């Protein structure tokens, strides 16, 4: 560290992204929950239209995209704001919406504890139960802003909408942030509750179900006052936070609902297929409603399986330490990639 670094941040544990090999053709990459499918043709066409306009700043209000997202969810534009990935949006949430601290699960998205330290928020961590599920009743009497990944990161397990409704009603004066990065793969979105609860903020991303991870686009959906708060801090920090290519391409992606449904349908089908095949091999597999699964076996440790798959040119994710150390997280790929993965695992064990 340089002599200029703030020593108060010395104990900060940085988020560790999944491996990104430079030679993608030599690996089957199932470690970072990206879509195995390219963006829709309409999204690519819309993006390419902006390439000759890169000398001009993008629309800071993102009117066309915001309007299209609002229309998709039967909301008004005042209920939607967009950001440079959901990570930028989440960082703003930790900055401005957490005067009473934060509450989240012990196994969840790894950025939550990082942001809490950066913005010096008091933290309450509530353990998942032995089946890796969230018990929302444990959150009812907590005052801090609740951050809830649904489906949950790492486990893929989803909460029913009735549990989120109960959490919102348990304390109307506390904000609940529902992080729906994986919602399109098997559970009902809390967006349907936005009109009824003013203490709800839904965070979404285009990285997963809309094949837009490389473009970086996050979405906030809430009541108009919360959206105004987020836009206020965005204008203080980075008003031109989304480039022209991403804005236009994302608009095309939202317009192409047929392609969106086709891709997520394939991923759901491949996920269920992978679950069943791994269970036949004696694996424990979480009841994932996302585009990944968490799987473990008493025949081999999570770290050893990760290392041996990597040696066989298949990348999955392993988290050292903690309750999921003996598991690997596997992104759902194409059927062809899934068959190669299963064949490699059979040979390894």
Q: How far apart are CA 250 and CA 234, in angstroms?
A: 19
- Which sign, positive or negative, has the C-alpha torsion 310, 316, 116, 233? positive
What angle do the packed helices 244-255 and 41-48 form, to 10 degrees? 150
pLDDT at 24 over 70: no
pLDDT value of residue 18: 73
- Per-residue pLDDT tens over the stretch 254-264: 999 999 999 99
Does 9 map to a domain? no
Q: In the listed set 255, 270, 292, which residue is the last one of a domain according to the structure?
A: 255
- Per-residue pLDDT tens over the stretch 54-100: 999 999 999 999 999 999 999 999 999 999 999 999 999 999 999 99
Looking at the fold, whether 266 and 141 belong to one and the same domain comes out as: no
Whole-prediction pTM value? 0.95
pLDDT at 19 over 80: no
Looking at the fold, whether 135 and 157 belong to one and the same domain comes out as: yes
Into how many domains does the chain fold? 2
Looking at the fold, whether 159 and 125 belong to one and the same domain comes out as: yes
Check if the beta carbon of residue 132 is closer than 8 Å to that of residue 101.
Answer: no
- Per-residue pLDDT tens over the stretch 200-225: 999 999 999 999 999 999 999 999 99
Q: In the listed set 255, 270, 293, which residue is the last one of a domain according to the structure?
A: 255
pLDDT at 196 over 70: yes
Work out the average pLDDT over 224-236. 97
Domain residue limits at 323: 18-38+258-348
Collect all residues with Cβ–Cβ distance below 8 Å to 302 and sequence separation of at least 6: 296, 318, 319, 324, 325, 326, 327, 328
Looking at the fold, whether 101 and 240 belong to one and the same domain comes out as: yes
Q: In the block, which residue shows the tokens 């942001």?
A: 115
Looking at the fold, whether 120 and 26 belong to one and the same domain comes out as: no
pLDDT value of residue 8: 76
Work out the average pLDDT over 313-324. 93
Question: Confidence class of residue 2 from pLDDT cuts 50, 70 and 90?
Answer: confident
């Amino acid at each position: 560290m340089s002599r200029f670094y703030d020593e108060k941040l010395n104990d900060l544990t940085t988020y560790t992204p999944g491996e990104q090999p430079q030679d993608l053709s030599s690996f089957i990459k199932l470690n970072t929950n990206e879509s195995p499918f390219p963006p829709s043709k309409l999204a690519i066409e819309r993006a390419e239209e902006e390439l000759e306009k890169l000398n001009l700043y993008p629309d800071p209000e993102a009117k066309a995209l915001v309007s299209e997202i609002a229309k998709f969810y039967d909301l008004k534009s005042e209920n939607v704001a967009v950001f440079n990935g959901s990570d930028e949006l989440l960082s703003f949430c930790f900055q401005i919406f957490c005067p009473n601290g934060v509450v989240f699960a012990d196994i969840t998205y790894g950025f939550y504890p990082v942001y809490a330290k950066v913005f010096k928020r008091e933290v309450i961590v509530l353990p998942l139960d032995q089946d890796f599920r969230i018990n929302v009743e444990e959150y009812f009497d907590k005052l801090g802003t609740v951050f809830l990944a649904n489906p949950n990161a790492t486990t893929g397990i989803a909460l029913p909408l009735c549990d989120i409704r109960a959490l919102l009603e348990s304390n109307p004066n506390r904000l609940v942030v529902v992080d729906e990065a994986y919602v399109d793969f098997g559970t009902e979105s809390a967006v349907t509750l936005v009109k009824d609860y003013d203490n709800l903020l839904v965070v979404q991303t285009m990285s997963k179900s809309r094949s837009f991870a490389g473009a970086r686009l996050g979405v906030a959906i809430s009541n108009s006052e919360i959206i105004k708060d987020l836009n206020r801090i965005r204008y203080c920090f980075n008003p031109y936070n989304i480039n022209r290519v991403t804005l236009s391409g994302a608009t095309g992606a939202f317009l192409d609902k047929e392609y969106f449904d086709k891709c997520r349908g394939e991923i759901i089908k491949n996920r269920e297929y992978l679950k069943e095949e791994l269970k036949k091999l004696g694996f424990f597999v979480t009841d994932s409603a996302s585009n990944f699964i968490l799987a473990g076996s008493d025949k081999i440790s999570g770290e050893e399986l990760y290392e041996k798959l990597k040696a066989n040119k298949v990348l999955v994710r392993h988290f050292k330490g903690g309750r999921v150390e003996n598991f690997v997280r596997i992104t759902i790929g194409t059927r062809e990639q899934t068959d190669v993965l299963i064949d490699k695992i059979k040979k390894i064990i």
